[in-house]
Amino acid sequence: MEAFKLKRKTLRTTFTNTAKAIDEEITKSQVDVNKLRELSSQLTDKFQRLETTQDSISELLLNENQENEYSKDFNEAEIYREQYLSLRSKIENFKIENNSESQSVKSCDRKYRLPKLELKKFNGDIKSFLGFWSQFSRIHEDEEMPSEDKFQYLIQAITPGTRAASLIESFPPTAQNYPKAIELLKERFGREDLLVQVYVRELLKMVMKNAASERKCADLTTLYDQLESHLRALDTLDVLRAWERHRTSSILNNDAELPENSQRSVENLIDFLRQKVNGEEMISLARSGFECQGKFKRDVVNSKRNEIPSASALISATQERIKFVFVVIFTLAKIVDKKEENTSTLFMIPSSPKTIYLKTLVVRLKNGGRSQYVRALLDDGSHRSYIEKVLARELRLLPSGKETLSQGLFGGNQTPEAEHYRYTINVEGIDGKFSCHMSVLDQPKICTTLPRVRDKHLLAELENHGIVLTDIGAETPPIRLLLGADVLGRILSGRIEVLKSERKAAKLLENETLTHFQETVKKIDNRYEIALPWLAGHPPVYGMYDVAESRLLSVTKRLLKENIFEAYDDVLRQWQRDGIIETIPEDEISNPGHYLPHRPVIKPSSATTKVRPVFDASFKRPGYASLNECLSVGPSLSEQIPPLLLRFRTGAIGVIADIKQAFLQLSVRPEDRDFLRLLWWNVKDRSKLEFFKHCRVVFGVTSSLFLLNACIRHHFSSTEYQLESLQTTVEKLKRSFYVDNLTISVESQEELEQLKMQTMEIMNAASFELRCWAHTGVRDQESQSVLGIKWDRETDELYCVSLQVDIRFSEIVSKRKLLSIVNSIYDPIGFTSPATL
């Protein structure tokens, strides 16, 4: 690996030098096109070699299970990938700009340079598709540009987090997928029939709103702008011509004659409205005066009473509530001193505006060794907290998941649903006295610029009262963090109490999980088939094929090294013969699914299986959820242990047993099996992979304990076991199972025999085989275990096993050491509490 790292270091150095040379060349006023083309070729060659070396290093890290090192190395590699894509984008933009400039110079002699054109981003709104496509079509129709580059431009031209972005991101960015992505984008947002419906509806909506609101003449300009916008869009789609042809045919069918110089009726309407708007603007301009704002105003009150004011005196008067009334003899009316509404119609002097300060402060954000001071806004009207997307990248935050939500705006409007990455950040006060972790969602921009407090008198007065503000000064940097109602209480008041409503919400989720189980469970051929309890609105599950393949290579090396490969293979082949796993057909391998990495667990003391596979459903990629995070765990089962142990001690004879391979006796419905896939080697050619999927419940999936416990209880509730002869045994069994362990007590040997016979009959009906029966009164060389507590069957005594640790000779006896010793004693009932406390 060190050789690969040394090679990568050299390639990164040469790549950086070439990148700097390209940046310097592009920023020159006179760019050498030949040199730029040469540097571009060098950059592509070096990046390809760098990527090949990077792939080799990443594969070695995955094989060695160095997940933290892999994540750090991946983030460093992403910096060079982003730099390469940015430079390619700059070069292509320069080519487009250079081509447009050269074509323009051919048509006319320009002595100036036009500003750079920026691609208009498409946000998924159907009404903005025409403008977007009119610009992007130049890139789409460029035959010299490779389809891979066109795809990258398409991704850049789509607003992230929108429906359009989700559609484009569903295609891998390859040349073959580019025309498919364009075709689907046009089909979803650019269908002419859909666009026509949208703009016609906008027209009808505008007409209805105008009729209902009794629009004033002052809003005629707005009406004209909206009407012209919608009509021009329809004209682009040839709808107006279709309407005009229909109107013309109707006139001809009525034997009417068209005038020789007839115009389209829509054009006549637009011309009429344009003239009306121009007239209204001229009238409004004449009424507005000269907007002197008091600079050249005279006091009319001080003039002589018998002097008639001129027109300029009327316009430049400073007094309010003055009205001049001209009568036949041209006398000046008296000054109106009433404190009623203002009668002057010339102008209005507004009162000086007051500055409103919102709740802003300066905080310090930390992520590992990186930190940054930012302005934050406290907003108790926001349900969630947000961080600026650029700031998250600057701090190198790793997302912990995604959330899709719509934001409510002032006035009752709502934004379209969009995906937001979720991050966990550490927020500190600038004095370091307060610190807390919180979950935030990313947002491209938090809000507009907010003023800082810079009134020295106000700051001095606050300081006299012991209040020190942090967000002060003349500069107004942007707000980069919004602290919403989900964390505001913790910041202002300290820790948050867990309300009863939250406990009720957890109980409601447990009840919903039980209801889902009751509605989906089936019994097929004496075996129960269950559905995985998916959480409503769970984030997307990562496929995990690359992780499963990398783990398989590492596991195989370990199995061969320890000479247990054949034993491990025998277990999986036996599962295949028993129907526990099945082969995935070749035509279904490409279907969406989830692969479970697995590893061996070696237990030499086991009498049956010394090595067996264990599956990992908790591994996740940044930005995605693990399989366990998408499934409900159901009600907690640990609370059942103390009552079970107490009931175990009520009878004269204690009895225990367990179910053989309990989880493997529950079948998973076919539609959920693709999320329980695994990889193993082909039986004929060990160099080829074979794809399997689980048909039974997998131990290691978080919901498996709940599903087994729920199935057993459901089995006991079946109508076939409600007979009077079985009723007593069934009621006892309902309260005596913990997952796959039976823990019960009886009063006599006859009752024990009857219990064993009836219990095995009931459990065999669901393919549950009870084994390892044990009861009181038998002398064992080794003690049994009852739900984790040791049981001496001969004396019928329960006891806890403690570690034999002598702390008298320890150099340092700390609280942590003492707590570690105490916690090592497993005592669910609390027999040892007087001693351990």
Identify which of 177-191, 453-467, 537-551, 663-677 has the greatest average pLDDT: 663-677
Say what the pTM is.
Answer: 0.43
Indicate if the pLDDT at residue 100 is higher than 60.
Answer: no
CA–CA separation, 669 and 671 (whole Å): 6
Average predicted confidence (pLDDT) for the chain:
78
- Top pLDDT among 223 and 705 is at 705
What is the pLDDT confidence band of residue 436, given thresholds at 50, 70 and 90? confident
pLDDT for 705: 92
- Top pLDDT among 350 and 40 is at 40
What is the pLDDT confidence band of residue 757, given thresholds at 50, 70 and 90? very high
Please name the helix (run of DSSP H) or strand (run of DSSP E) that holds residue 370, with its range, or none: strand 370-378
pLDDT for 719: 65
Cα distances from 460 to residues 312, 363, 465, 736, in angstroms, run 48, 22, 9, 72
Indicate if the pLDDT at residue 342 is higher than 70.
Answer: no
Cα four-point dihedral sign 179, 185, 190, 192 = positive
CATH topology of domain 516-766: HIV Type 1 Reverse Transcriptase; Chain A, domain 1 (3.10.10)
Cα distances from 436 to residues 366, 423, 476, 487, in angstroms, run 10, 14, 26, 10
CA–CA separation, 597 and 613 (whole Å): 10
pLDDT for 597: 94
CATH tag, 354-497: 2.40.70.10
Mean pLDDT of 552-556: 94
Q: Could you tell me which of 514, 576, 540, 575 has the C-alpha nearest to residue 675?
A: 540
Mean pLDDT of 178-197: 79
- Top pLDDT among 227 and 323 is at 227
Cα distances from 694 to residues 100, 628, 669, 690, in angstroms, run 59, 16, 10, 13
Amino acid at 481: L
Amino acid at 824: S
Share of the chain above pLDDT 90, in %: 23
CA–CA separation, 749 and 728 (whole Å): 16
The domain segmentation of the chain, as residue ranges, is: 1-97, 126-190, 354-497, 516-766
pLDDT for 251: 44
Mean pLDDT of 750-770: 91
pLDDT for 235: 65
- For 486-531, the pLDDT digits (tens) are 787 666 655 445 445 455 556 677 888 888 999 999 999 889 999 9
What is the pLDDT confidence band of residue 73, given thresholds at 50, 70 and 90? confident
Indicate if the pLDDT at residue 693 is higher than 90.
Answer: yes
pLDDT for 831: 77
Cα distances from 295 to residues 290, 318, 320, 348, 779, in angstroms, run 11, 10, 15, 14, 111
- Top pLDDT among 246 and 470 is at 470
Indicate if the pLDDT at residue 676 is higher than 70.
Answer: yes
User: What are the structure tokens assigned to 652, written together?
Assistant: 């004269």
Mean pLDDT of 729-734: 90
CA–CA separation, 553 and 359 (whole Å): 55
- For 798-819, the pLDDT digits (tens) are 888 765 656 555 567 777 777 7
- Top pLDDT among 409 and 182 is at 182
What is the pLDDT confidence band of residue 540, given thresholds at 50, 70 and 90? confident
**C-alpha dihedral (540, 544, 547, 551), degrees to nearest 10:** 130
Q: Could you tell me which of 86, 158, 153, 89 has the C-alpha nearest to residue 121?
A: 158
